[in-house]
Amino acid sequence: MALGSIKEAYNVFQQHDFSRSFQLRFLDISVPGIAGEQVKKELVDNNGRYYITTMVVPGRTVQNVDVPYQGFQFKLPGQVSYDSPNPWSINIRTPGDYLVRNALEQLSFQTANDETACGSFNLPCKNNIITIGVLNPKCEIIRAYDLVGVYVQNISEISYNQENMEGTSFTAAFQYQYWRPNTAYQGKDLNTAPSNLDGAFATFANQLQNVNTDCGVGIPTV
């Protein structure tokens, strides 16, 4: 068979498939404190993560050490850096009730509070973790990553425009120390998990069902 033939490429692609840009999921976050619990509640337990639109699988760099010798430059492997990207960002469509935004703002103030000059200034613990997972077409997790030693570094502004009806979004950026593969999630099927899209909408609706509307009734549950 000719190298690079269509038939050979077809067999290879059919066997290994392609990873699509929508097949990355935010699986979990673990940060201590009341604010950390609130972020986990809104992003994971209440499925606010369905509002996340973009994020990345982080990279890793082994930096070079140059060793010159007689007009030649040898390259040696040097220190390791986790900087692609660091901080690690997620883009979030703004929920109408602001619950996710509120939890992230609370976490930011828990990390560094300029009003009290207090916060969590120590090196983050190893169990401060964000876990993300890559899915296959069957919604099984084929690869999961732990971002270790995370803390929230930035919550972006939200831009509003009175001249259109478009939804708003913002980014949350987390600094981390390093990442490691997570084998505990590997092979899990997200289709059979209790967290599903209908449940996400129902959760947010249930939290607001007692709020009065213009018609005097609560927002109906899904």
Phi, psi of 146 (to 5 degrees): -105, 125
- Give the pLDDT confidence score for residue 4 in this predicted structure: 74
User: Per the confidence metrics, is the pTM higher than 0.85?
Assistant: no
> Residue range 68-81: average pLDDT?
96
DSSP string, 182-221: --SSTT-BTTSSS--HHHHHHHHHHHHTTS--TTSSPPPP
Do the Cβ atoms of 175 and 150 come closer than 8 Å? yes
pLDDT in tens, 20-70: 999 999 999 999 999 999 999 999 999 999 999 999 999 999 999 999 999
42: three-class secondary structure by DSSP? helix
Predicted confidence band of residue 186 (pLDDT cuts 50, 70, 90): confident
Query: Over 70: is that where the pLDDT of 102 sits?
Result: yes
- Give the pLDDT confidence score for residue 196 in this predicted structure: 55
